[in-house]
Structure formats: C-alpha cells, structure tokens
C-alpha cells in the first residue's frame, strides 16, 4: 500500500534568510522569506517554523498561511532573532501545485545563519542564506 503513495519532489521553491535594514528601528534584522522560483503560482501555502537547542530548550512554533504565492516571487514569512541562531531551526513547507500536495522540511543547523554563508537568492537578486 505504501509503495502506491507518490510524494512529489519540491523544486524551485526555497526558504531564504536575509539580513535587511529596518528603517523603523534603525537596525539590521534577519527575515525568513519563501521564494517561488517556479513557472506557476503555489496555493494553500503553510510554513511552520520551530527551533530546538541541544540543551533541551525550544522556541515557540509559528505557523504562517498564504493563500497564493505567485510565480517568480518572494514573500516575507517572519522575523528571526539572532538569539536562536544556536538552535536547529526547521521550516516545514506545505503547498499545492495544481492538484498535488507538496511537503518539504528545510533545516538551518546551529550557527549556520551568518553572512559567511551568503549565496545568491533566486528571484530576489540579493544575497542571503539559502536553506536546502
């Protein structure tokens, strides 16, 4: 029975962590973005984020929903505080593309969110940490 379940591979949809200037607070903030680099819009999008430290501490679980994320676009999901960069941070993405349900977990390992790990981020034309 399990062999009959087909789980489609997530392609062209990414989670990126960007460092950006915040005019309101005159500070550099870290933000999580969902990027749809595909040719079609994705629908009924849910992003769940959580963090866990190796000493047992956990972050609050956040859930964000977006009805549609257009093709070749990016949407800000949430702010992430530097205090949790020492945690393993997970971002669980679920969405529909056509009639198929897609699901993928992106992981930022402890201390991996830093400028040294910046790379080109699709669609945004800027640099950031691109999770796989």
SS3 at position 13? strand
Instruction: Render pLDDT for 14-72 as a digit per residue (tens, 0 to 9).
Output: 999 999 988 887 889 999 999 999 999 999 999 999 999 999 999 999 999 999 999 99
pLDDT, position 4: 67
pLDDT, position 124: 95
* Dihedral Cα 83, 108, 26, 125, nearest 10 deg: 170
């Amino acid at each position: 029975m399990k062999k009959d379940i087909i789980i489609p591979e997530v392609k062209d949809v990414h989670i990126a962590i960007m460092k950006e200037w915040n005019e309101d607070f005159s500070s550099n903030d870290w933000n999580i973005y969902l990027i749809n680099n595909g040719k079609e819009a994705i629908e009924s999008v849910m992003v769940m984020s959580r963090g866990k430290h190796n000493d047992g501490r956990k972050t609050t679980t956040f859930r964000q929903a977006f009805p549609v994320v257009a093709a070749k676009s990016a949407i800000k999901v949430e702010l992430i505080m530097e205090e949790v960069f020492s945690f393993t941070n997970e971002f669980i993405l679920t969405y529909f593309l056509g009639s198929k349900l897609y699901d993928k977990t992106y992981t930022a390992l402890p201390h991996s969110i830093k400028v040294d790990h910046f790379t080109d981020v699709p669609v945004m034309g800027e640099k950031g940490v691109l999770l796989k």
